[in-house]
A and B are shown apart, each in its own frame.
Chain A
Amino acid sequence: MTELLDSTSSSESSTMTESSAPAISAGDGPLKMTTRNVDVFYGDKQAINDVSIDVTMDNVTAFIGPSGCGKSTFLRCLNRMNDTIPIAKVTGDITLEGEDIYAPKMDVVQLRARVGMVFQKPNPFPKSIYDNIAYGPRIHGLASTKEDLDNIVETSLQRAGLWGEVQDRLQDSGTALSGGQQQRLCIARAIAVDPEVILMDEPCSALDPIATAKIEELIHELRGKYAIVIVTHNMQQAARVSQRTAFFHLGTLVEYGVTSDIFTNPTEEKTRDYITGRYG
């Protein structure tokens, strides 16, 4: 583990400051993303303070914490979604497979294909189910023939557990599906461009319990194929789907560890208070 920390902390980034906060490793499994001493500012206001986390392939990582704690802000740093906010400034190191994602040479469009994202509300394009999936592979040139594209669409829908429900109506509009189906369509859409990491920002908060269970089952099936990071307000969900949990509070990472430890015997009092419902 020390080797990992050494290799990533020898950063050339000028924005990074030496900090007493330890870099926190997710433990076992091949390392996919690392973040070191990440600060995020919205104008003068600091939203994230010195966060260091590792994301591995084999574990689903959950970010939990009260509203405004910075978990979504931090998630959005992982594929540079914060770039779209003019006053947002991100400092520190974030790497994907050892590559600095904030390096000037980084192609952001390519990055967002490698680090896909699923949002709180399902947001299918107002296009057919087929085109929703085919859109990404087309613009990224992942398919040379119609047959290739058909294959990608089918595989992606299968992986997202939606194929059986839509295979006979691929030309229907994506927006005509139910909420849960739309969310799985969005996951299929993210999968279609063959990402390495999938970020999910409260993916089930607009869904009923059955649709939620299907997404959670899907997360379970996708684990290992992609590194998955999920932000959730639902602690039971974090407990059910993740193997690593990070608790954020007021922009700082309070505790990061094995999910079962966090929910049965957290180390920090703040974590304890939050997960047992003694917060505020």
Chain B
Amino acid sequence: MANTGTEHTVKAFDTDINELRGMVAEIGGRSEQAIAKAMRALEKHDLKLAAEVVAEDKLIDELEKRIDELTFQTIALRAPMADDLRELIATFKISGVVERIGDYAKNIAKRVPVIASTHKLGPASLLPSMSNIASQLVRDALEAFARRDADLALEVSERDQIVDDFYTSIFRSVITYMIENPKDIGEAAHLLFIAKNLERIGDHATNVAEMVYFAAKGEPMPERDRGENPTDLLEEPTTGR
């Protein structure tokens, strides 16, 4: 039985839930913005903007703390049941996951100073598209939370495959680039980490979507049929031919 958003007899419970939903929307918005800013800083080599992303991550961390405190307090004081309980558990987990998304954006921003220019690094040309899709997943996962929309959540989870495919592609081209341009290996390695961060952001958006699905439906999201798993690539260097 899904939450239809009808009011509780105890109105203060609705106030708590609405406040939490508002904070989740805010932490989501800030994380999404952090990804966009970090990618812009990377592209323009804008150190000031990168530093801003790093500094603003503290706000995301604080929001996570506040969400956790209020969720904890609401569970303790209101003894929620059924969809209310599921939603609060989801909120608790989502805040942690979104905070991690913020950390990945911060991590990208921190690499800006060591990559003088992405333009010379061929594989970097795929990063903006990859980051747009990853950001869109984060936005849609949180939109699904706001609308309690299990279908949208399922769609987010399916679309994560696109981000994974981007990563696989970038991984391969970065390795080739490194072989061809050994002097740029340092920067290329950072580039690879950035791609990995974006890939993880997609995974975390999927985690959010899974929570939304669970909160709405009361059952775990069905396993999606994965194509090539980017983590398989980890095996590649050791399979030496």
Contacts and interface: CB of A to CB of B under 8 A. Distances in A.
Interface in A254-280: 263-269, 271-273, 275-280
Interface in B9-54: 9-10, 13
Interface stretch (B75-83, B91-99, B199-207): B75-83
Contacts of A280: 9
B85 A264 contact: yes
B113 interface: no
A237 to B, nearest CB: 11
A265 B218 CA distance: 5
Contacts of B86: 264-265
A267 B81 contact: no
A275 B82 contact: yes
A276 B84 contact: yes
A264 B9 contact: no
Contacts of B219: 265
B238 interface: no
B6 interface: yes
A268 B82 CA distance: 11
A278 B1 contact: no
A272 B4 CA distance: 10
A280 B86 CA distance: 22
Contacts, number: 49
A278 B10 CA distance: 8
Given A265-B86, A273-B6, A235 B1 contact: no
Contact of B9 (A235, A266, A269, A279): A279
A280 B6 CA distance: 11
B1 A272 contact: yes
B8 A278 contact: yes
Contacts of B13: 277
B225 interface: no
A135 B96 CA distance: 61
Contacts of A265: 1, 82-83, 86, 218-219
Residue from B1, B8, B85 having most chain A Cβ neighbours under 10 A: B1
Contacts of B83: 265, 272, 276
Nearest to A267: B1
A236 interface: yes
A276 B218 contact: no
Given A265-B1, A267-B1, A271-B1, A276 B79 contact: no
Contacts of B9: 277-280
A198 B221 CA distance: 41
Contacts of A264: 81-82, 85-86, 218
A266 B82 CA distance: 7
B6 A275 contact: no
Contacts of A277: 8-10, 13, 81, 84
A169 to B, nearest CB: 38
Contacts of A272: 1, 82-83
B228 to A, nearest CB: 35
A275 B78 CA distance: 12
Contacts of B1: 265-269, 271-272
Given A263-B82, A277-B8, A277-B13, 9 more contacts: A264-B81, A265-B82, A265-B83, A265-B86, A267-B1, A269-B4, A277-B9, A278-B7, A279-B9
15 contacts: A236-B79, A239-B81, A263-B82, A265-B86, A265-B218, A266-B1, A268-B1, A269-B1, A272-B1, A272-B82, A277-B9, A277-B13, A277-B84, A278-B6, A278-B7
